[in-house]
């Protein structure tokens, strides 16, 4: 390689590594002559079962990509939920420095950080398009970093499910009254909304969902979308598959990093991690879309797919507003994030009305 070409390659690499994707401004990094020769061996825990398609597999691939891009300077050993710690202890493990990294969804920590739910998904909230815009360039990520700072954790968007399905039911939902007394596996604010409608929300780990539905311990369950739901066998345990997923219209995942561990990394390795999260964010969402398309074609003639009645969705939206307002009244941090989220959602809706939505009506 000629000297001129080599200089061009190095200049391009310096630009990629030195460009701050969040703030659109250069980041100071070490010159190539001062880059640390230290190798970092990190552990990452996730909330997903071993070999869980798309989610766990995507994060395992991200760890491999980071090792390749860093030329082996940052090696990350990935543990699925339950392999090193229980799934729902991921946030605490990263916060306490037991491990350096974790992957999951922010609404799993609703009991500890209620306002973090906006960084994952809330009922009747933004879809993937809006979430990515808000988090990356609309101020959402800065708020996310602010609310996680007291917990010694730094967050990055790292995947999105897209719009989920409304769930599997063993009876038809013709009116809001059909939700009364319904025992349903549904987490977060969606569960609070169901409770206001007279139902009973139940939180179960993924591995328990099929058995609970089959045995009648629960009457209904939401999970993800056609691909994951069908693999879990939920079509064998319930009669009716409802849409849309009003409770999770665009669920973002997170990569979380222990603050002290992050600050020990040289800047060029920090930038590699940051770029890798951008990559996995797009990878997980894109694969979700393809697998759901394929699975829907496979199963649509085998199951009964139904739309929630407009009256039911209208009532659930009203109860969502009440639930969010109640939480905001008692939690100033929640209120701050809620207002920022709502403002961006309204602005995004105005633009979408004459762009995405208008085009969809052609």
Cβ-based neighbours of 331, under 8 Å, separated by 6 or more: 114, 115
User: Residue 258 and residue 95: Cα distance in Å, rounded?
Assistant: 6
| pLDDT at position 359 | 94
- Of all residues in the chain, what percent carry a pLDDT higher than 90? 86
* Interior angle at CA 171, CA 169 and CA 174, nearest 5: 105
Confidence of residue 5 (pLDDT cuts 50, 70, 90): very low
Q: How many residues does the chain have?
A: 362
268 closest CA partner among 62, 60, 20:
20
Which segments of the chain belong to CATH 3.40.190.170?
Answer: 39-160+249-299+331-362
Which segments of the chain belong to CATH 3.40.190.10?
Answer: 167-247+300-328
What's the pTM? 0.88
Q: What average pLDDT does this structure show over 49-65?
A: 96
Residue 237 zone, left/alpha/beta (φ > 0; ψ -120 to 50; rest): alpha
pLDDT at 19 over 90: no
| pLDDT at position 27 | 45
pLDDT at 182 over 80: yes
Which burial class, exposed, middle or buried, applies to 215 when counting CB atoms under 10 A from its CB (0-12, 13-18, 19+)?
exposed
User: Residue 174 and residue 349: Cα distance in Å, rounded?
Assistant: 29
3-state secondary structure 220-282: EECCCCHHHHHHHCHHHCCCEEEECCCCCCCCEEEEEEEHHHHHHCCHHHHHHHHHHHHHHHH
| pLDDT at position 31 | 47
| Helix (H/G/I), strand (E/B), else coil: 42 | strand
Residue owning tokens 């070490």:
30
| pLDDT at position 188 | 85
Cβ-based neighbours of 73, under 8 Å, separated by 6 or more: 36, 37, 38, 39, 40, 269
As beta bridge partners, residue 254 has 104, 157
Half-sphere exposure of 161 (CA within 13 A, CB side): 24
pLDDT at 6 over 90: no
DSSP 113: -
Whole-number Cα distances in Å, 130 to 121, 297, 333: 11, 27, 22
Confidence of residue 16 (pLDDT cuts 50, 70, 90): very low
Class of the domain covering 39-160+249-299+331-362: alpha beta
82 closest CA partner among 97, 104, 112, 111:
104
Whole-number Cα distances in Å, 205 to 185, 187, 286, 318: 9, 10, 25, 28
pLDDT at 33 over 60: no
Q: For domain 167-247+300-328, give the CATH number.
A: 3.40.190.10
Confidence of residue 208 (pLDDT cuts 50, 70, 90): confident
DSSP 200: E
Compute CA 353 distance to the chain's CA centroid, rounded to the nearest angstrom. 25
């Amino acid at each position: 390689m000629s000297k001129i070409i080599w200089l061009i390659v190095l200049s391009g690499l310096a630009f990629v590594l030195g460009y701050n994707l969040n703030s659109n401004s250069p980041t100071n990094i070490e010159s190539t002559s001062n880059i640390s020769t230290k190798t970092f061996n990190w552990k990452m825990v996730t909330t997903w079962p071993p070999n869980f398609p798309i989610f766990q597999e995507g994060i395992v691939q991200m760890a491999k990509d980071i090792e390749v891009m860093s030329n082996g300077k940052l090696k990350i050993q990935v543990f699925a939920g339950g392999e090193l710690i229980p799934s729902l202890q991921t946030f605490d493990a990263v916060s306490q420095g037991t491990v350096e990294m974790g992957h999951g969804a922010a609404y799993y920590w609703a009991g500890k950080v209620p306002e973090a739910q906006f960084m994952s998904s809330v009922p009747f909230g933004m879809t993937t398009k809006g979430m990515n815009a808000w988090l990356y360039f609309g101020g959402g990520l800065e708020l996310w970093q602010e609310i996680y700072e007291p917990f010694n954790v730094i967050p990055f968007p790292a995947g999105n499910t897209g719009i989920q399905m409304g769930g599997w039911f063993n009876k038809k939902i013709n009116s809001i009254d059909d939700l009364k007394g319904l025992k349903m596996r549904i987490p977060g604010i969606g569960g609070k909304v169901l409770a206001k409608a007279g139902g009973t929300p139940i939180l179960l780990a993924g591995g328990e969902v099929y058995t609970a539905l089959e045995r009648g311990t629960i009457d209904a369950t939401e999970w993800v979308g056609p691909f994951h739901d069908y693999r879990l066998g939920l079509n064998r345990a319930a009669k009716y598959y409802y849409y849309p997923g009003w409770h999770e219209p665009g669920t973002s995942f997170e990569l979380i990093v222990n603050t002290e561990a992050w600050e020990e990394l040289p800047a060029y390795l920090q930038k590699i991690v940051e770029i890798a999260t951008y990559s996995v964010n797009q990878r997980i969402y894109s694969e979700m879309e393809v697998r759901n398309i394929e699975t829907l074609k496979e199963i649509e003639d085998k199951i009964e797919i139904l739309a929630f009645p407009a009256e039911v969705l209208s009532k659930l939206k009203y109860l969502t507003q009440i639930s969010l307002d109640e939480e905001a009244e008692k939690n100033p941090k929640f209120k701050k994030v809620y207002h920022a989220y709502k403002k961006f959602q309204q602005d995004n809706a105005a633009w979408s009305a004459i762009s995405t939505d208008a085009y969809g009506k052609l």
